[in-house]
A and B are shown apart, each in its own frame.
Chain A
C-alpha cells in the first residue's frame, strides 16, 4: 500500500492549525529545569542587573520570543535592571523589539531600567571584551546614545556588575558564553533555548557551568504558568502536543504497514515453497 505523503502534510497542517483556532487548554506541568530558572530570577534582588543576549536568527522567533518575553517580564516585575544585546546580526532588531515591547508593557524607563546595545560582530571577542569594559565593546546603544551617558551604563562597567547573563539562543552561542564569560570571568549564565538544542547543553548544566536551561515552547509555557500569565507559549502547547502526537501515530502506522508487508512477503514465499 503506497501512502501519498501529501496526506501526512495535511495531517500535520490540521494538527497545528486547529488547536491554534480552537484552543484545547491542555494542562502544563512545571518541570524541575524550568523551576530552577524561575527560582534563579526570583532570588535576584531589586536593582540587580541581568544581561539578555539575543543569540538567534529570525527563523526561530516563534519559539524563542515567548521564552524571552516570559523571563524578561519576570525580571522587570522583580525590579531587576536589564541590558540587552545581540551577538547574531538578525537578533539585533528582534531583541530591540522584544525588549522595548516588554519594557513598555511593564512601564519601565529606557536608560534607567533597561537599555539595548545592539549587535557586535565576532562574538568571542565581544564576550571577552565585555569582561574588561562594556563601554569599549559598545561605545553607544542601539539608538546611538553614548553608553556612559545612560544612567544604567554609568552603573554597569563589566561582568563584575552583572548578576546573570541570559543567552536566548537557537545555536551554539551559549557554549561561547560558558567558555569565555563563565570560565574566564566567573559570570553566571542561563540558557533559554529552542527545544532541539536542550540536550546539547545538559552536560553544561550538570557540570554547574550553566545556572539553568529553559527549553522550547514548553519551557515558555511552564514559565508563563509560574508567572500566572498564560501567553504565546501556553497557546502554542496545544498545537505542539497534537503535532507530536500525529508524528508518533505516523511512526507507529509506518511500522505496522512495514510489518504487514513483511508478513505478506514471508507467507508468499512459504506458499511458493
Chain B
C-alpha cells in the first residue's frame, strides 16, 4: 500500500493535469485551481520540514565538541534572530529585519560569489591550454567573447561585437537548442513513466 497509493495518486493527477489543458469546462477549471492551491500547500509543508531539518542538524553539530560547534552556533543564532526580528518588528521598509538582510546577508553572499572572479582567473590561466586544434578554437572563442562583451572589444575593432553576436546567436544557440530538445524529450519520457507507475525512484529507496 505504501507504494501503490502514491503511484495511483500520481497517475490520477498526472492524467488530470494533462487533460485539463484541453478542457475549459468550469468543474475542471475549479479542480485545476484547487490543485494549484494544494501544490503550494504541500510545498510549504516541505519547506517546514527543511527548516526543521536544518535546525536539528545544527543543534546536533552545536552539541558535539569540535570546530563546527562555533559555526553551528552562529547559524542557529542567525535563524533565531531573523525569526524574532521578522515576527517582532515586521519586514517592511525601515525594519530591523530588512536592515540585517541588506547589510549582513546580502553583502556576505555577494562577497562569497565575487570570489569566483579570482578562481575563474586562476583556473583560466592554468587550464586554458591550446593542446590541439579544438582547444585552440575554444580559447579563440573565449577570448573573443571575453573582450567583445565589454567596451574594450569595441575599442579593439568595430567588428568584434558583430563576431560576438554571431557566436552567441548562431553556434551557441544551435548547441543550446539541441540540448533543450534533448531535455524536453527526456522530461516527457520521464513524466509518462511516472504517470504510468513505471518510474518509482521519487518514492524513495525503501519503496522501489
Determine whether B205 belongs to the interface, using a CB cutoff of 8 Å to chain A: no
Determine whether A122 belongs to the interface, using a CB cutoff of 8 Å to chain B: yes
Does B151 contact A199, Cβ atoms closer than 8 Å? no
Known: A132-B33, A218-B149. A203 touches B173 (CB 8 A): yes
Q: Which residues of chain A are within 8 angstroms of B154 by Cβ–Cβ distance?
A: 27, 29
By CB atoms of chain A within 10 A, which of B40, B124, B125, B173 has the most?
A: B125
Determine whether A47 belongs to the interface, using a CB cutoff of 8 Å to chain B: no
Chain B count of residues within 8 A CB distance of the other chain: 57
Within 8 A of A (CB), among B83-136: 91-93, 97-98, 101-102, 105-106, 109-110, 112-114, 117-118, 120-122, 124-126, 128-130
Determine whether A245 belongs to the interface, using a CB cutoff of 8 Å to chain B: yes
Does A248 contact B146, Cβ atoms closer than 8 Å? yes
Known: A94-B106, A250-B124. A241 touches B91 (CB 8 A): no
Does B36 contact A129, Cβ atoms closer than 8 Å? yes
Determine whether B185 belongs to the interface, using a CB cutoff of 8 Å to chain A: no
Q: Which residues of chain B are within 8 angstroms of A1 by Cβ–Cβ distance?
A: none
Within 8 A of A (CB), among B142-197: 142-143, 146-147, 149-152, 154-155, 161, 165, 168-169, 172-173, 176-177, 180
Does B128 contact A255, Cβ atoms closer than 8 Å? yes
Does A198 contact B168, Cβ atoms closer than 8 Å? yes
Determine whether B139 belongs to the interface, using a CB cutoff of 8 Å to chain A: yes
Does B118 contact A8, Cβ atoms closer than 8 Å? yes
Residues of B at the A interface (CB closer than 8 Å) are 21, 29, 32-33, 36-37, 39-40, 42-44, 47, 91-93, 97-98, 101-102, 105-106, 109-110, 112-114, 117-118, 120-122, 124-126, 128-130, 139, 142-143, 146-147, 149-152, 154-155, 161, 165, 168-169, 172-173, 176-177, 180
Given contacts A16-B117, A125-B37, A203-B173, 11 further A-B contacts (CB under 8 A): A31-B161, A58-B110, A97-B98, A122-B44, A199-B176, A248-B143, A248-B146, A250-B121, A254-B128, A255-B129, A255-B139
Residues of A at the B interface (CB closer than 8 Å) are 3, 5, 8-9, 11-13, 16, 26-29, 31-32, 57-62, 93-94, 96-97, 100, 120-122, 124-126, 128-129, 132-133, 136-137, 142-143, 184, 195, 198-200, 202-203, 206, 216, 218, 237, 240-241, 243-248, 250-255, 258
